[in-house]
Chain A
């Protein structure tokens, strides 16, 4: 069976274009990467509401803050690695401390900027954005969800960080699937172990579910698209009902989704957790699929993690 492939950044572009038609307050900013981030799709249709700030991410975030103070809903767009890293203080002090209605889009997240090497692979952005008070952090799993998330963040007040991927990844959710910020989605039921993932790697978790099913292991798959605020009820239910968790991050383990899950469980319902992700290292250049194999981010790695966590299961 062939699955349709699209980059999640395309979903962002489509979401922006739709917002252009439906919400006159939406403004889009970019930092000289409009073609890559797909913000140029909005620019082409709504040139009066698009502003290129040049290669100046810090100024872009500040400008977005000012626009928000003027009642606009700015989407500040560039690569994840730059907006979350270089402009972090601007996001922290000006945007989050003031709780401004700024939407931040980080493209080329995770390993999807593979060929560009470690400088362009955003692996710390999830942690950096997640530690900020008032910030909502969202990692769409496919192009359909990316479009929905883009539209959804325009409807809530406050700073939001959206992370998109460069590479085409499987489209495995439907346009008609419901999407609510902060509400996890159970993609597959299961009773032995639970995968909690966000972003395109969620698809690999779906494949791992199938492989485990063939071996008689029932793995729940949770789409934790909103990493912050995390759907704690879904995590608690998974811990109680399956007794073992595997978290999946296309990011540094420290501070990512796995950290969020572990932080919650340790204080509420401790069960064994295996955390899959990048283990405190910079990567290298290579095709994203090559990097995924080398750094253990494919379905067979998740299967191994599930078996490991099952061996630790006591309840």
Chain B
């Protein structure tokens, strides 16, 4: 468990890692990774019951990255939490790496399931949560989704399944940054009123600022305390958060910093002179 100030420092490191690793790979998805930093850091450092040194520990809570392209934030958070050395982050997307361009559970211990084709993670989280119920185990399933990803029909199938089977051990997290490749989510295929839709599907909905560490911790705690139905944390975020020229620019979904941009980005993250 880390205190708030320390969590904020880790978030800075994770942001810098995302910028550096995608720069080294010369490809990847920084925008949607930067928007989920606080969600991931709080989850891995303070919320989940797991053992970074023993990734296959059977009693662990599970995290499912449904928006697989945001794996840089998962990899960086895992490295900072102690799953593997931070230096390995620079192998992202390179031949022979454990850090595949979209996450593979076959190569990296700690990745629960391979993902990359959108819309599939919530079903997997539900299935795992169901196994926990059958096994009478307390472990929980967390699933991070993008907002654009919610346009996939399978998500809405899974949104019916979790409340139907009263899977209160499922915590869905929606990275509501309102940007996808072709534009804003509302332009491309609108989701509003998003929280109402989840409520209508019988979820307990928690809305919060996805870049406020304290709010994220409180949201996870509220989800944990909610019984009888699954919880969805719909966190308002900014795509590219923390790097001024990336923030709210759709083009940074799948574009990475060159050397000059990386220098500016790191100054944004740590402050000039640091």
A98 touches B105 (CB 8 A): yes
The segment out of A69-77, A184-192, A228-236 that lies at the interface is: A69-77
Instruction: Encode B109-136 as 1/0 by CB contact (under 8 A) with A.
Output: 0001111110111111111111110110
B157 touches A70 (CB 8 A): no
B153 touches A58 (CB 8 A): yes
**Residue of B whose beta carbon sits closest to that of A60:** B123
A98 touches B161 (CB 8 A): no
Instruction: Encode A59-91 as 1/0 by CB contact (under 8 A) with B.
Output: 111111111111110100000000000000110
Q: Does A33 contact B (CB under 8 A)?
A: no
Instruction: Encode B96-110 as 1/0 by CB contact (under 8 A) with A.
Output: 000000001110000
Instruction: Encode B122-154 as 1/0 by CB contact (under 8 A) with A.
Output: 111111111110110000010000000000011
Write the nearest CB–CB distance from A75 to chain B, whole angstroms: 13
Q: Does B217 contact A (CB under 8 A)?
A: no
List which A89-116 residues lie within 8 A (CB) of chain B.
89-90, 92-94, 97-100
Q: When chains A and B are docked, how far (Å) is the Cα of A215 from the Cα of B141?
A: 65
Q: Does B270 contact A (CB under 8 A)?
A: no
Residues of A within 8 A of B115 (CB): 93-94
Q: Does B158 contact A (CB under 8 A)?
A: yes
Residues of A within 8 A of B127 (CB): 62-70, 74
**Residue of A whose beta carbon sits closest to that of B131:** A70
**Residue of B whose beta carbon sits closest to that of A56:** B157
Write the nearest CB–CB distance from B148 to chain A, whole angstroms: 17
Residues of B within 8 A of A66 (CB): 113, 123-131, 141
Q: How many residues of chain A get a CB closer than 8 Å to chain B's CBs?
A: 32
Q: When chains A and B are docked, how far (Å) is the Cα of A286 from the Cα of B119?
A: 38
Residues of A within 8 A of B132 (CB): 70
B157 touches A69 (CB 8 A): no
Q: When chains A and B are docked, how far (Å) is the Cα of A99 from the Cα of B160?
A: 26
A56/B106 contact (C-beta < 8 A), A65-B127, A69-B128, A72-B131 known: no
Residues of A within 8 A of B134 (CB): 27, 48-49, 70, 72
Q: Does A54 contact B (CB under 8 A)?
A: yes
List which A145-162 residues lie within 8 A (CB) of chain B.
none
B128 touches A62 (CB 8 A): no
B131 touches A97 (CB 8 A): no
A59/B158 contact (C-beta < 8 A), A90-B120, A93-B117, A94-B114 known: yes
Task: Give the one of A66, A70, A98, A99 with max B CB within 10 A.
Answer: A66
Q: Does B62 contact A (CB under 8 A)?
A: yes
Q: Does B245 contact A (CB under 8 A)?
A: no
Q: Does A53 contact B (CB under 8 A)?
A: yes
Q: Does A51 contact B (CB under 8 A)?
A: yes
Q: When chains A and B are docked, how far (Å) is the Cα of A100 from the Cα of B106?
A: 10
Write the nearest CB–CB distance from B192 to chain A, whole angstroms: 24
Residues of B within 8 A of A27 (CB): 131, 134
**Residue of B whose beta carbon sits closest to that of A71:** B131
Q: Which of A51, A62, A89, A97 contacts B124 (CB 8 A)?
A: A62
Q: When chains A and B are docked, how far (Å) is the Cα of A100 from the Cα of B165?
A: 23
A94/B113 contact (C-beta < 8 A), A59-B161, A65-B123 known: yes
Task: Give the one of B105, B112, B114 with max A CB within 10 A.
Answer: B114
Write the nearest CB–CB distance from B266 to chain A, whole angstroms: 34
Q: When chains A and B are docked, how far (Å) is the Cα of A72 from the Cα of B116?
A: 24
**Residue of B whose beta carbon sits closest to that of A98:** B114
Residues of A within 8 A of B158 (CB): 59, 62-63
Instruction: Encode A8-38 as 1/0 by CB contact (under 8 A) with B.
Output: 0000000000000000000100000000000
Q: When chains A and B are docked, how far (Å) is the Cα of A67 from the Cα of B112?
A: 12
Q: List 28 A-B contacts (CB under 8 A).
A: A49-B134, A51-B165, A53-B157, A54-B157, A56-B154, A58-B119, A58-B154, A59-B158, A62-B121, A62-B122, A62-B158, A63-B130, A63-B158, A66-B113, A66-B126, A66-B129, A67-B131, A68-B127, A69-B62, A69-B113, A69-B128, A70-B135, A90-B123, A92-B117, A93-B115, A94-B114, A94-B124, A98-B114
A interface list, Cβ under 8 A from B: 27, 48-49, 51, 53-54, 56, 58-72, 74, 89-90, 92-94, 97-100
User: What 9 additional pairs, Cβ within 8 angstroms, besides A69-B128, A90-B123, A93-B114?
Assistant: A49-B134, A58-B123, A62-B123, A66-B127, A66-B141, A70-B134, A89-B117, A93-B120, A98-B104
